[in-house]
Chain A
Amino acid sequence: MRHGSAMKHWPRSTSAGALALIASATSANAHIIGARLGDFYAGAAHPLTDLADLILWFALALLAGSLGPSAARPILLFFPLGLLAGSSVGAEVVFAPAGGLAASGMLVLLGLLLAAGLRIHRNLLCVIAFGAAAMRGASNAGGMGPETNRLLFALGIAIAGYVAIALVAAATVAFRGEETVSRGWRRIAIRALGSWIAAIGLMMGGLALAS
Chain B
Amino acid sequence: MSFIRRSFLLAAIASVALASPAIAHEQAGVAAGLASGVLHPLSGPDHLIAMVAVGLWGAQLGAPAIFLLPITFPLVMAIGGVLGVLRIPLPAPEAMIALSGVLLGVAVAMRLRAPFAAAAALVGLFAVFHGHAHGAELPDASDPLAYGAGFVTATGLLHGCGVALGALSRWPVGERLIQGLGAAIALLGGYFLATGLGVAI
Which residues of A are interface residues toward B (Cβ below 8 A)? 42, 45-46, 48-52, 55, 115, 143, 188, 191-192, 194-196, 198-200, 202-207, 209-211
Which residues of A are found within 8 Å of B143, using beta-carbon distances? Answer: 51
Q: For the complex, what is the distance from the CA of A209 to the CA of B22, rounded to whole Å? A: 31
Tell me if B78 and A45 are in contact (CB < 8 A). no
Which residues of B are found within 8 Å of A115, using beta-carbon distances? Answer: 71, 75
Tell me if B82 and A196 are in contact (CB < 8 A). no
Q: How many A-B residue pairs have CB under 8 A?
A: 99
Of A48, A55, A205, A207, which is in contact with the most chain B CB atoms at under 10 Å from its CB? A207
Q: For the complex, what is the distance from the CA of A200 to the CA of B145, rounded to whole Å? A: 8
Q: For the complex, what is the distance from the CA of A45 to the CA of B70, rounded to whole Å? A: 34
Tell me if A199 and B75 are in contact (CB < 8 A). yes
Residue from B30, B86, B152 within 8 A of A199 (CB atoms): B152
Which residues of A are found within 8 Å of B194, using beta-carbon distances? Answer: none
> In the assembled complex, how far is the CB of residue A42 from the closest CB belonging to chain B, in whole angstroms?
6
Q: Is B81 at the interface (CB under 8 A from chain A)?
A: yes
Tell me if B148 and A203 are in contact (CB < 8 A). yes
Please, could you name 24 A-B residue pairs with CB atoms under 8 Å apart, sorted by A? A45-B23, A46-B24, A46-B25, A48-B24, A49-B23, A51-B30, A51-B145, A52-B145, A188-B71, A191-B71, A195-B70, A195-B72, A198-B74, A202-B75, A202-B79, A203-B81, A203-B148, A206-B81, A206-B82, A206-B83, A206-B85, A206-B135, A210-B86, A210-B139
Which residues of B are found within 8 Å of A211, using beta-carbon distances? Answer: 139
